[in-house]
Amino acid sequence: MGDLIEALTLMQKYANPQYPTNCEHDTLWVNVQPELVSPEDVRRLDELGFFPDSDGMGFMSYRFGSC
């Protein structure tokens, strides 16, 4: 759980949307635009299991997306 909390805390530096997450078929999305996030934080998010989605609208994770 610590990795998830760290990832959400990193992304909160860049945005704090009213509805921050979506979950669908084993994928968790966080609604933070990747272009706002520093390259260092993008690398750390990748280590934590999050990566930019193909549309560039947010970050996604298969690691934390079981629903």
- The amino acid at residue 29 is W
Residue 26 lies in a domain: yes
Would you call 30 exposed, middle or buried from its count of C-beta atoms within 10 A (0-12, 13-18, 19+)? buried
Is the pLDDT confidence value at 33 over 90?
yes
Range of the domain at 57: 2-61
Residue 22 lies in a domain: yes
Each residue of 50-63: pLDDT tens digit? 999 999 899 999 99
pTM of the complete model? 0.91
Q: Which of 40, 62, 38, 36 is nearest to 49 (CA)?
A: 62
Average pLDDT of the chain is 94
Total domains present in the chain: 1
Angle (CA) 8-38-61 rounded to 5° is 40
Mean pLDDT of 6-14: 97
Is the pLDDT confidence value at 67 over 70?
no
